[in-house]
Structure 1
Amino acid sequence: MADVPDELLPPYDGIKLHHVRVVKSERDAADALAALLSSDVLGFDTESKPTFAKGESSTGPHLVQLATDDAAYLFQIGPAPAIDVLREVLESALILKVGFGLTDDLRRLRSKLGIETANVLDLATALRRGERNTLGAKTAVARFFGQRLQKSKKITTTNWALPRLSEKQILYAADDAHVALRIYRRWRADS
């Protein structure tokens, strides 16, 4: 599939909205924790409000996404019950967390929330097959599924610190974590 131009590939059909849980309450947090702790591997990513001014520092992460095979859980960072769940899951050595380009995500989690992640696999590096450059989610989706992952710059650069995310933001964020898990599962099955 690597020699097929990206625009000729069928679109990647991502996670559906009814499989996404935005964790807002104590009950949501408890349900998310139970589902996440029962998984061997989770898809993982974060989103931060973009910075546009020179010298401006990011105050992210503003959103942390974790995905099981069946659902994606979105944790908005703020006055919510999310931090304890995130700490327990992200610091667990028993659960593998997989995602793309995680260096900045891990650094921000450590500096903003004091979370020391454990057992994390950055697929951007792990999936390289002798290539010099890291591999992104778009390339991995084309390689493993023969599909085109659409990543909208318009959504990427939206304000992830908003108290209420749009449906497009929710789906974009959920897909980032869920697609990483799906790619990891396919990669391991093919190995």
Structure 2
Amino acid sequence: MIVRRTIDKDELKELPKTVFPGRIYVIQSEAETERAVAYLQSRPVIGIDSETRPSFTKGQSHKVALLQISSEECCFLFRLNMTGLTQPLVDLLENPAVIKVGLSLKDDFMMLHKRAPFTQQSCIELQDYVRQFGIQDKSLQKIYAILFKEKISKSQRLSNWEADVLSDGQKQYAATDAWACLNIYNLLQELKQTGDWEVSPLTATVSPTEEVIGNKISD
């Protein structure tokens, strides 16, 4: 597989959209949270992301409203604006046996820490991780496009994540983001194990000695 360093916006626009193919569960009670976390605690790796209601007024801000956590098969949307960050979720975030993969995790955890104190364990920041494979882009949309030749829709990003009922579009958007993080990590782990990848050559303006081709990661 040839891993490209970057992708431009025009090319990104032409790609087909990707959608989360699994089942989506909206979690808005403590009992539902306990059942969902019990399942997630059994997974070796999960994808995570969060959403906060946008503020269009200067000086106004909101607490994180949604924490989405995905396995390969299903994604749970925890409505923190209804339940808060409960102890089962704290236990999951602190569990060193479960790897949490996300993008801009520092921002996500900063917001989550405003809801409850915890010390996150076993986290993979994709912006850092993909650099080992020569990928220079830092947005989830572009990283996903480089690796899967599909684009993630961002049309719901500024919607109201504290709405009484999340729309189908919101649920699909939220689930896709968390699942995409996991999907990226799983593919890169596969490439790392097989060594069957190369970084695309640099432009002609760069000397051949500076090119990184066939770069493989040691364990």
Settle same-fold status: TM greater than 0.5. Answer: yes
Q: Look up the SS of the partner of 1:156 in the other structure.
A: coil
Contact 1:44 1:98 in 2 (8 A): yes
**Mapped pair 1:9 → 2:15:** yes
How big is the shift at 1:88?
1.2
- Aligned residue pairs total 186
Per the alignment, residue 51 of structure 1 pairs with 55
Per the alignment, residue 189 of structure 2 pairs with 188
Question: Using the alignment, how far apart are the partners of 2:7 and 2:31 within structure 1?
Answer: 48
Contact 1:24 1:81 in 2 (8 A): no
Per the alignment, residue 35 of structure 1 pairs with 39
Cα 1:113/1:188, change in 2 over 3 Å: same
Question: Using the alignment, how far apart are the partners of 2:12 and 2:84 within structure 1?
Answer: 41
Bigger drift between 3-12 and 84-93 goes to 3-12
Question: Using the alignment, how far apart are the partners of 1:188 and 1:132 within structure 2?
Answer: 15
How big is the shift at 1:9?
2.3
Q: Structure 2: which amino acid aligns with 1:15?
A: F
Cα 1:156/1:97, change in 2 over 3 Å: same
Contact 1:47 1:60 in 2 (8 A): no
Question: Using the alignment, how far apart are the partners of 1:31 and 1:124 within structure 2?
Answer: 31
Q: Look up the SS of the partner of 1:11 in the other structure.
A: coil
Q: Look up the SS of the partner of 2:138 in the other structure.
A: coil
Question: Using the alignment, how far apart are the partners of 2:40 and 2:82 within structure 1?
Answer: 21
Using structure 2 for the length normalisation, give the TM-score: 0.76
Question: Using the alignment, how far apart are the partners of 1:164 and 1:15 within structure 2?
Answer: 20
Matches of residues 117-132 of structure 1 in structure 2 within 5 Å? 117-129=120-132
Per the alignment, residue 145 of structure 2 pairs with 142
Matches of residues 67-106 of structure 1 in structure 2 within 5 Å? 67-80=70-83, 83-106=86-109
Contact 1:91 1:117 in 2 (8 A): yes
Cα 1:134/1:90, change in 2 over 3 Å: farther
Cα 1:136/1:110, change in 2 over 3 Å: same
**Mapped pair 1:151 → 2:145:** no
> After superposition, what is the alpha-carbon deviation per residue over 1:47-79, rounded to whole angstroms, capped at 9, x for unaligned?
0011222222x3221100100111000100144
Question: Using the alignment, how far apart are the partners of 2:153 and 2:83 within structure 1?
Answer: 31
Bigger drift between 169-178 and 18-27 goes to 18-27
Q: Structure 2: which amino acid aligns with 1:138?
A: Q
Contact 2:12 2:142 in 1 (8 A): no
Across the aligned residues of Structure 1 and Structure 2, the Cα RMSD in angstroms comes to 2.3
Rg larger for: 2
Contact 2:28 2:82 in 1 (8 A): no
Q: Look up the SS of the partner of 1:182 in the other structure.
A: helix
Contact 2:85 2:116 in 1 (8 A): no
Contact 2:29 2:82 in 1 (8 A): no
Identity of aligned residues (%): 27
Question: Using the alignment, how far apart are the partners of 1:176 and 1:167 within structure 2?
Answer: 14
